[in-house]
Amino acid sequence: MNQKVATIALAIAALAVVLVFLFLPGPSAPTAPTGQDPKAPAQKTARAETYSSDFGSDIGVSAPKTGAATAGTSLPAGTAWEDRLDQLLTNEADNTTTVRGLVSSMRGLPPEAQEEFAAHAVNLCEDEQFGLLANIYFEAATPSEVKETIFNDVLNRPDEIKLPLLAKTLRNPTHPMAGESKEILEMYLDLEPGAVPPNGWDQAVSEYIKQQGE
């Protein structure tokens, strides 16, 4: 009887050992970062942040590459005036019409745009229509760089155009080209540096041109 009981006890013990091994827990899953849903895929948050920084806040919607034009965005500054400049330079109009268009279109544009318009205008402008450039040259709102462009061009014009413009420049002591205008007129009129013609610059220039034509 005792032997039978012992046999049953051994059998129960063996079964218990087997059950213990069967129900032992497997290796524990990696602990999720603090504050992160342990059921969420490990890389999802990081990938979402990457997309957000690269493509904007709407994950799953492809954003345009940098620099690509999109509907509703304004064109880069300068596109309108560049198109206008190309239009004026490629039309079949004569130089007089083109110069008039360049001069009338440049007012109010950014300084760099006005410089572009002026550079083309002086190259196309005939002596007979230099008054168009002179108007721009004397306007207070014209950038100094544009005034210098016109000034440098007029130095290659005939005395009848050049000298009166230089004399008129001296009427405004604050004009950016007043200093150079005075130096050039002193040379033409054979004046000492700092001297002023008794009858004024305009009269002195008029008399000089008259003498040269005799």
What gap in Å lies between CA 192 and CA 17, rounded to an integer?
A: 123
Instruction: Say if 196 falls within a structural domain.
Output: yes
Instruction: Say if 59 falls within a structural domain.
Output: no
Span 38-85, pLDDT tens digits:
333 333 333 333 333 333 333 333 333 333 333 333 334 446 889 999
Per-position b or e across 126-135, b if 16+ CB within 10 A of its CB:
eeebbebbbe
**Claim to verify: residue 131 and residue 83 sit in the same structural domain:** yes
Instruction: Say if 54 falls within a structural domain.
Output: no
**Claim to verify: residue 106 and residue 149 sit in the same structural domain:** yes
Question: Residue 187 sits in which domain range?
Answer: 158-214
Tokens representing residue 96 in the block: 């007089």
DSSP character string of 86-104: HHHHHSS--HHHHHHHHHH
Is 151 in contact with 185 (CB distance < 8 Å)? no
Residue 165: CB atoms within 10 A of its CB come to 22
What pTM does this model have? 0.62
Span 144-172, pLDDT tens digits:
999 999 999 999 999 999 999 999 999 99
**Claim to verify: residue 138 and residue 168 sit in the same structural domain:** no
Instruction: Say if 144 falls within a structural domain.
Output: yes
Span 102-151, pLDDT tens digits:
999 998 899 999 999 999 999 999 999 999 999 999 999 999 999 999 99
